[in-house]
Each structure stands twice: as structure tokens, then as C-alpha cells.
DNA sequence: TTTAAAAGTTGAGTCGTTGCACTTTTTTAG
DNA sequence: CTAAAAAAGTGCAACGACTCAACTTTTAAA
């Protein structure tokens, strides 16, 4: 368990991982210190003692340096839908999951600064949002399956899209929890139609 | 020199507008002909017989060359909310407006190609979406005012955000109308809670 | 007319990103 | 066990988008 490597973890791959980690660490340090736009990729590469080309062999873009920890959120998202408690609606289950995973993350002391770096840098906020929205198709599929609807049902696509977009709504708000709950109240019960006196159809 | 008093619109501004139009026209022609990524800003500037620096004095970015016609959608959006027919709910009024303005691909014969250029070029799709979402705050304000709620009410912000995002849902779908209607049905009536004892199996 | 401020234009440079060439490691053939 | 190809890492130089400091032209003021 100590010296044996059950899976062929090559010496080369270990050095590769070390270089990658050095790049990510150097990048985060420099970005937090001087600001994302004030640091060039050449600076990051130099701090990690590699060339810019090597940097781009490890990370597809400058923004990707910040989003190194790519935990599998998609599986958790789908699981929140599929393994929701009995009697819990789909929007409610999604709200529970998002409140659990996107609000209290502040166990790490350095996390607020990391979060502020992303939210305060437009290009990083965009990049993170785009990555987050990549789960839309998988989520829509799970929703459709759970609801017993067709794979490309527009309502399922809409719920998946809106549920993921809801977290973007909380950015820059003083009370993310209330915002998230209000958004999901809308998805769950609809807009309180105080103006219409007669409902149509169905 | 001469005694002719310059009209309110200087001849300088006219030439400036002409240069700007020449740039936008050349850009659209070249982009439609060879594809956005295959045409450099230098090519566009050369086609309009100016330097690249001059191009960037007229347009803030390469993408902005395509979105020259910045019609005032925001006013129309707010008007759709404020001047909606009596008894019409806010989501319904927004749906009507979007169906009217975003579906009937205008009478312009060249418009489909223009639309395809944008939707088929990721960076342009992103840029257009970002511009579209800039109306979110104004729309949320109008919604809050019409609903008699506070300016920063989370539900109003959510409705504004989701209503604007709904058009992004239609991109790449074969039936945009149905998709839009399904999305607004969700916003109007909420997610049908079929999990409460109504589901069959699973 | 003189002159100064404003706007237009430009070539040279920066930054993110990539293609081509070179070195090093791993795999395969003898 | 050696040799050499195949694969992967690395770097220099270049490309495209975009900016900066200086020069020229236009407009307005004295």
C-alpha cells in the first residue's frame, strides 16, 4: 500500500501532474495577488519554470488555470434528481441540492477570495457559467426520464435550463438563499397571476 | 473659410458614419462569404480601406461588427410589460412579445443567412446572448413596478432572467414556438407536480 | 489669421494561442 | 540487452485580436 502502485502510474505521469499542479498553484497565487487581467500567461509559465507552450499543453486556456478542480458536479446533479426522497417534486429536489452544494461552501478559509476572483473577473465568470451550463443536457435527460416524458420534451429542457441558470441569479446578490428559493418557487408554482381572472385550458 | 454655417450634423460626423457603415458592410459580406473565423479584422479593415486601429475606433471588438444594428429592444421589452392588455398576465404578455419579435423571421430575404452566421459561430452566439441579457435589470424593474413589488424582489429578478433566457432555449431546436410556449407555461403555472402520488411506478 | 482642443489615423507593440521543430521517455524489433 | 521508432514533452517563433503613443486633420475659439 505504500510503495506498490497497483495501477501503472508512470514516473512520467507523476512529473506531468506535478507540473500541472505547479502551474495551477502559481496561477492562482499570481491572480489573487495582482488580479487576473494584470497577469499574463507568460508570467504564470515563468513562475512555474516552463514555457507558455507547455502551459497550454496542460490547460486549454488561461481561464482553465483557475478552474483546475473540476469535481464531477454533473453526476451529483443527476443523482439529486434520480434519488430524490419520495414525494419530493423535481424542482424541490433540485433546490435542496443547490442549497446544499452552492451555499455553505465556506469551509476552506481561502475560498471567499477565490470566489471573489471569479465573480469579479467577467471573463472568468463567463467561463465558469459556460462550464456549469454544460450539464444542461444531462440534467434535462434525467428530468425527462423521471417525469416519464419524452427525451426532448421542451418543458424538461426548460426546467433544466432554468434550474441551472438560477445559480447565476444569486451572483452579486446579498441574499443568495432567498434568491434561489424565490427562483425555484417560480419554477414550482408559477408566477402568481393576480392579474388574470380566468385561467385557460387544461 | 466660407460663410456657410455648418448644420447641426457636421460633415465630419457624416464621413465618420460612412466609414462605420463601410466597415460593417464589408465585415458582413466577408463573414457570410468565408466564415467568421476565416476572416481577420485586418481583412475587414483592408476591404474598407482603413487600418485595423481605425476599425477598433469604430467598433469595440470584432464581434461588434456583426451586431451593428442595435435596435432598441429594451424599450420594446419594457413596453410589452407595461402596456400589456388588461387581464393578461406578465408571463403571457412577455410570451406574446417574444413570439411576435423573435419568431417570424422577418421579411428580409438575407436574414436567415445572417441568423445562421451568428448561431453557427460560438463566439458570436455568446456575444449576442450577453447583449440580450443586458436588458435583464430594466425588465426586472418594469416587472416589479407592474406587480407592485419591491425593486429588488427576487421573484421579479427571476422572472426577468428566465424570460430572457427562454429565447436561448429555442436556439438549435426544430420547433422554437413550442419550446418558447413550454418555457412560459412553466413560468406561468409552475412544474406539474405529478410526483405526489400521481406517478406511475419508478 | 492664429492657435488650441478634439477627433482620425497609423505603425509598433502586447497578450492569448498555435504550428513546427527538437528533445526525452516509452515501446517495440532484432 | 540494444537499437530505433513511436509517443509525448518542451520551446521558439509566429499569427490574430487588440492597445498605445505619436502624427495629421478638422473644428472651434481668440
Q: Do B11-66 and B70-189 show the same overall fold?
A: no
- Percent of chain B past pLDDT 90, that is, above it, reads 69
User: What is the pLDDT, as a whole number, of residue B112?
Assistant: 86
Nucleotide closest to B13 measured between CA and C1': C7
pLDDT-derived band at A9 (thresholds 50, 70, 90) equals: low
A53 closest CA partner among A8, A17, A19: A19
User: What is the pLDDT, as a whole number, of residue A138?
Assistant: 96
Query: Which long-range contacts link B58-61 to residues 24+ away (Cβ below 8 Å)?
Result: B58/B16, B58/B19, B58/B20, B58/B23, B59/B20, B59/B23, B59/B24, B61/B127
Q: In this predicted structure, which of A66-70, A194-198, B139-143 has the lowest mean pLDDT?
A: A194-198
- Contact assessment for residue A127 and residue A120, using Cβ atoms and an 8 Å cutoff: no
Chain A contact for B136 (CB, 8 A cutoff)? no
Tell me the three cell numbers of residue B13: 460626423
Q: CATH for A11-66?
A: 1.10.10.60
Which of strand C's nucleotides are less than 7 A from any protein C-beta?
A: 7-12, 14-20, 25-27
The CA–CA distances, whole Å, from B173 to A154, A157, B59, B110, B168 equal 9, 11, 31, 21, 10
Q: Which residues of B touch A147 (CB under 8 A)?
A: 194
- The full 3-state SS of chain A, as one line of letters, equals CCCCCCCCCCHHHHHHHHHHHHHHHHHHHHHHHHCCCCCCHHHHHHHCCCCHHHHHHHCCCCHHHCCCCCCCHHHHHHHHHHCCCCCCCHHHHHHHHHHHHHCCCCCCCCHHHHHHHHHCCHHHHHHHHHHHHCCHHHHHHHHHHHHCCCCCCHHHHHHHHHHHHHHHHHCCCCCHHHHHHHHHHHHHHCCCCCCCCCCCCC
User: What is the pLDDT, as a whole number, of residue B111?
Assistant: 83
User: What is the pLDDT, as a whole number, of residue A10?
Assistant: 61
What residues of chain B, 81 to 100, have a C-beta less than 8 Å from chain A?
Answer: 87-92
User: What is the pLDDT, as a whole number, of residue A68?
Assistant: 76
* Domain B70-189 annotated CATH 1.10.357.10: yes
Q: Which residues of A touch B178 (CB under 8 A)?
A: 154
Q: Each residue of A144-201: pLDDT tens digit? A: 999 999 999 999 999 999 999 999 999 988 899 999 999 999 999 999 875 444 434 3
More confident call, B93 vs A51: B93
Q: Each residue of A30-56: pLDDT tens digit? A: 999 999 999 999 999 999 988 899 899
User: What is the pLDDT, as a whole number, of residue A197?
Assistant: 40
Cα B24 versus chain centre, distance: 18
The DSSP line for B68-127 is -----HHHHHHHHHHTPPTT--HHHHHHHHHHHHHSS--S-TTHHHHHHHHHTSHHHHHH
| B143-160 mean pLDDT | 96
User: What is the pLDDT, as a whole number, of residue B71?
Assistant: 75
Please state whether strand C lies within 7 Å of residue A7 at its CB atom.
Answer: no
Q: In this predicted structure, which of A10-14, A50-54, B44-48, B188-192 has the lowest mean pLDDT?
A: A10-14
Domain range list for chain B: 11-66, 70-189
- Contact assessment for residue A165 and residue A157, using Cβ atoms and an 8 Å cutoff: no
Gap between the Cα atoms of B142 and B76, Å rounded = 12
Mean residue pLDDT of chain B comes to: 87
User: What is the pLDDT, as a whole number, of residue B10?
Assistant: 64
Nucleotide closest to B57 measured between CA and C1': C8
User: What is the pLDDT, as a whole number, of residue B1?
Assistant: 41
User: What is the pLDDT, as a whole number, of residue A1?
Assistant: 41
User: What is the pLDDT, as a whole number, of residue A92?
Assistant: 97
From residues 109-168 of B, list those within 7 angstroms of strand D by Cβ. none
A154 contacts B173? CB cut-off 8 A: yes
Q: Each residue of A88-138: pLDDT tens digit? A: 999 999 999 999 998 766 677 778 899 999 999 999 999 999 999 999 999
pTM of the entire structure?
0.87
A162 contacts B165? CB cut-off 8 A: yes
B58 burial type by CB count under 10 A (0-12 exposed, 13-18 middle, 19+ buried): buried
Q: Terminal CA-to-CA distance of chain A, rounded, Å?
A: 63
Q: In this predicted structure, which of A97-101, A150-154, B11-15, B164-168 has the lowest mean pLDDT?
A: B11-15
Amino acid at each position: 500500500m505504500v510503495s506498490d502502485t497497483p495501477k501503472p502510474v508512470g514516473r512520467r505521469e507523476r512529473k506531468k501532474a506535478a507540473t500541472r499542479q505547479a502551474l495551477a498553484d502559481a496561477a492562482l497565487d499570481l491572480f489573487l495577488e495582482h488580479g487576473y487581467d494584470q497577469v499574463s500567461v507568460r508570467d504564470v509559465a515563468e513562475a512555474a519554470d516552463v514555457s507558455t507552450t507547455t502551459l497550454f499543453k496542460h490547460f486549454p486556456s488561461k481561464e482553465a488555470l483557475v478552474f483546475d478542480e473540476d469535481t464531477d458536479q454533473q453526476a451529483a446533479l443527476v443523482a439529486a434528481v434520480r434519488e430524490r426522497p419520495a414525494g419530493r417534486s423535481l424542482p424541490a429536489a433540485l433546490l435542496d441540492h443547490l442549497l446544499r452544494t452552492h451555499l455553505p461552501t465556506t469551509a476552506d478559509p481561502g475560498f471567499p477570495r477565490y470566489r471573489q476572483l471569479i465573480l469579479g473577473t467577467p471573463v472568468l465568470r463567463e467561463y465558469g457559467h459556460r462550464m456549469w451550463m454544460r450539464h444542461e443536457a444531462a440534467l434535462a435527460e434525467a428530468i425527462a426520464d423521471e417525469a416519464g416524458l419524452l427525451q426532448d420534451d421542451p418543458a424538461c429542457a426548460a426546467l433544466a435550463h432554468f434550474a441551472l441558470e438560477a445559480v447565476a441569479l444569486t451572483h452579486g446578490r446579498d441574499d443568495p438563499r432567498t434568491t434561489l428559493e424565490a427562483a425555484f418557487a417560480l419554477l414550482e408554482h408559477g408566477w402568481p397571476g393576480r392579474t388574470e381572472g380566468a385561467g385557460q385550458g387544461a
